[in-house]
Amino acid sequence: MTPATRLSTLRILLVLVGLIFIFAVYPLMTVVWPSGWRWQPNQPEYEQNK
């Protein structure tokens, strides 16, 4: 493999990984499983002092 083919292959792979993160991982975190990244327990009564 010449350095030019390695560079073009790397560019293609980086674009593909970026597209996977934009169209698969980001919607997974925001739309499909939004409560998965919050602190637990997610109760407003928990933080109130009585």
Q: What is the DSSP letter of 40?
A: S
Q: Does 2 or 42 have the greater pLDDT score? A: 2
Task: Please report, rounded to a whole number, the percentage of residues in the chain having pLDDT higher than 90.
Answer: 36
Domain boundaries, the chain: 3-47
Q: Does 40 or 31 have the greater pLDDT score? A: 31
Q: What is the pLDDT, as a whole number, of residue 6?
A: 96
CB distance 21 to 29 below 8 Å: no
CB distance 24 to 17 below 8 Å: no
Average pLDDT over the chain, rounded to an integer: 79
Mean pLDDT (whole number) for 17-43? 75
